[in-house]
């Protein structure tokens, strides 16, 4: 893999590259209008970007009356890697310069096996993609991990479900092996960015992305940028206390959102319902499989199992109550619901959330607020990771 170290050299070049990434190939005339550059100044910057291999010419635009203007786009050979390390699997994708996924590979592996084992799988998947001819010129790679990250240092910080990863130099290790710049962030942040780049939130500046998986988290986008907060923990809503009582959380406290509603909580409550004789459906499934997951609850609820329907409704109500307050506080332009458990539960969960938020939040904040299920699914993470890498690489500072 050949390292591509070229970067834009000034603010105008950065602006031009981001426009081409987000809007696609456009004519020089349109580009000049969009960035307020004179024709000659624009030509200088585009020539330079072409020279360093970041921009391509694509023929001539249709005439707008005068001379036909040349069309330019990001170099068609530019490639980014999006790496999404989940609790139980790794996804690796290669994208073009506009973050369109060209190839995506996935491999199950438990993140608790530690950084050496997991990153070996990552590199193996990258190797497979490379040997197929993709990802030869990689311009940058983005990585999401299921825990808190120091974005500046590119290391996980005391991640609860990632034993062995604390302070592990993910960025520098991968950067060395991949021979390109690497950025590392929390998985929920990169999913939020993916939704903003390629999902239903494409035209939204201020976004909440709520992920319901084994745990619960929230990605916050402010003015098109991931908002991380003063110490990088912004959006960590899973341990907000929503109740003075309730089951003990994995963090040791009582009343956390995640202990009431999450993939883990659903599995626990379903098992309890099966054992207490409140659901024949779940009891049969438990007897057959030996254990229950949130996916069983989703199937049971879809089949009309009353106990499961109530678990989903109750969970949606609790998440909705918290979200109602956050919507009043943050006044987002959209709320996107994603993550494996949310995808499995689907519309019944969405309906409950909508009902609570629209009833409880300020009318000013909900008057024009779409609350939607992610349509990107498992691609949100890899697209967001690639996009985060491109934000970093297509920048002059």
Nearer to a second copy, 66 or 367 (CB): 367
Residues 93-132 that bind a second copy (CB under 8 A): none
From 122-130, 260-268, 300-308, 327-335, span contacting a second copy (CB under 8 A): 327-335
**Are 338 and 195 in contact, with CB atoms under 8 Å apart?**
yes
Nearer to a second copy, 253 or 303 (CB): 253
Nearer to a second copy, 62 or 223 (CB): 223
Backbone angles phi, psi at 223, to 5 degrees: 55, 40
Nearer to a second copy, 28 or 228 (CB): 228
Task: Please provide the DSSP assignment of 337-369 as one string.
Answer: EESHHHHHH-HHHHHHHHHHHHHHS-HHHHTT-
Position among 240, 299, 302, 372 found at the interface with a second copy (CB under 8 A): 240
Position among 43, 52, 200, 234 found at the interface with a second copy (CB under 8 A): 234
Tokens 């969970």, residue? 315
| Helix or strand holding residue 2 (H, E) | strand 2-3
Shortest Cβ 252–a second copy spacing (Å): 11
Position among 73, 148, 316, 320 found at the interface with a second copy (CB under 8 A): 148
79 binds a second copy (CB under 8 A): no
166 binds a second copy (CB under 8 A): no
228 binds a second copy (CB under 8 A): yes
Nearer to a second copy, 230 or 287 (CB): 230
235 binds a second copy (CB under 8 A): yes
Shortest Cβ 284–a second copy spacing (Å): 37
From 172-180, 188-196, 225-233, 277-285, span contacting a second copy (CB under 8 A): 225-233
Maximal CA-CA distance, the chain: 79
Nearer to a second copy, 227 or 358 (CB): 227
314 binds a second copy (CB under 8 A): no
Helix (H, G, I), strand (E, B) or coil at 297: helix
Shortest Cβ 200–a second copy spacing (Å): 15
211 binds a second copy (CB under 8 A): no
d(C-alpha 137, C-alpha 388), whole Å: 17
> Closest by alpha carbon to 91, among 110, 104, 109, 80?
104
**Are 246 and 252 in contact, with CB atoms under 8 Å apart?**
no
Nearer to a second copy, 121 or 201 (CB): 201
Contacts of 277 (CB under 8 A, 6+ apart): 283
d(C-alpha 197, C-alpha 344), whole Å: 23
Contacts of 9 (CB under 8 A, 6+ apart): 48, 396
Shortest Cβ 224–a second copy spacing (Å): 12
Residues 348-387 that bind a second copy (CB under 8 A): 360, 362, 364-365, 367-369
* DSSP structural state of residue 256: B
Nearer to a second copy, 148 or 315 (CB): 148
From 161-169, 237-245, 279-287, 297-305, span contacting a second copy (CB under 8 A): 237-245
Backbone angles phi, psi at 70, to 5 degrees: -75, 145
227 binds a second copy (CB under 8 A): yes
Shortest Cβ 142–a second copy spacing (Å): 21
Estimate to the nearest angstrom the gap between the alpha carbon of 159 and the chain centroid. 18
> Closest by alpha carbon to 109, among 121, 92, 96, 97?
121
Taking the chain, what is the end-to-end CA distance rounded to the nearest angstrom? Answer: 25
d(C-alpha 333, C-alpha 211), whole Å: 17
Shortest Cβ 307–a second copy spacing (Å): 24
d(C-alpha 351, C-alpha 342), whole Å: 12
* DSSP structural state of residue 283: H
Contact residues toward a second copy (CB under 8 A) are 11, 148, 157-158, 204-206, 218, 220, 222-223, 227-237, 239-241, 321-322, 324-326, 328-333, 360, 362, 364-365, 367-369
């Amino acid at each position: 893999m050949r390292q591509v170290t070229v970067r834009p050299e000034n603010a105008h070049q950065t602006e031009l590259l981001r426009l081409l990434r987000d809007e696609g190939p456009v004519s020089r005339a349109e580009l000049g209008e969009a960035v307020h550059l004179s024709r000659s100044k624009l030509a200088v910057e585009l020539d330079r970007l072409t020279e360093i291999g970041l921009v391509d010419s694509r023929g001539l635009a249709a005439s707008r009356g005068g001379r036909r203007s040349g069309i330019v786009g990001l170099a068609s050979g530019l490639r980014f890697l999006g790496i999404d390390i989940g609790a139980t699997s790794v996804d690796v994708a290669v994208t073009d310069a506009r973050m369109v996924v060209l190839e995506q590979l996935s491999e199950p592996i438990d993140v608790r096996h530690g950084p050496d084992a997991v990153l070996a799988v990552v590199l193996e998947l990258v190797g497979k993609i490379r040997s197929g001819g993709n990802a030869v010129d990689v311009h940058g790679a983005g990585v999401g991990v299921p825990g808190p990250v120091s974005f500046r240092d590119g290391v996980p910080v005391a991640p609860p479900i990632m034993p062995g990863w604390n302070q592990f130099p993910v960025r520098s290790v991968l950067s060395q092996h991949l021979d390109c710049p690497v950025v590392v962030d929390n998985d929920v942040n990169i999913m939020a960015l993916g939704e903003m780049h390629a999902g239903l939130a494409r035209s939204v500046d201020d976004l909440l992305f709520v992920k319901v998986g084994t745990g619960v988290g929230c990605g916050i986008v402010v003015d098109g940028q991931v908002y991380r907060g003063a110490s990088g923990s912004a959006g960590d809503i899973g341990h907000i206390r929503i109740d003075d009582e309730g089951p003990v959380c994995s963090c040791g406290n009582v009343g956390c959102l995640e202990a009431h509603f999450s993939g883990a909580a659903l599995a626990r409550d379903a098992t309890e319902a099966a054992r207490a004789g409140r659901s024949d459906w779940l009891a049969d499934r438990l007897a057959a499989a030996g254990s229950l997951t949130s996916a069983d609850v989703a199937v049971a609820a879809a089949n009309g199992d009353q106990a499961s329907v109530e678990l989903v409704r109750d969970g949606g109500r609790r998440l909705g109550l918290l979200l109602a307050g956050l919507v009043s506080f943050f006044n987002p332009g959209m709320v996107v619901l994603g993550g494996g458990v949310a995808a499995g539960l689907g519309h019944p969960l969405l309906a409950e959330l909508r009902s609570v938020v629209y009833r409880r939040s300020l009318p000013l904040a909900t008057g024009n607020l779409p609350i939607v299920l992610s349509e990107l699914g498992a691609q949100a993470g890899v697209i967001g990771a690639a996009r985060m890498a491109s934000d970093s690489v297509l920048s002059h500072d």
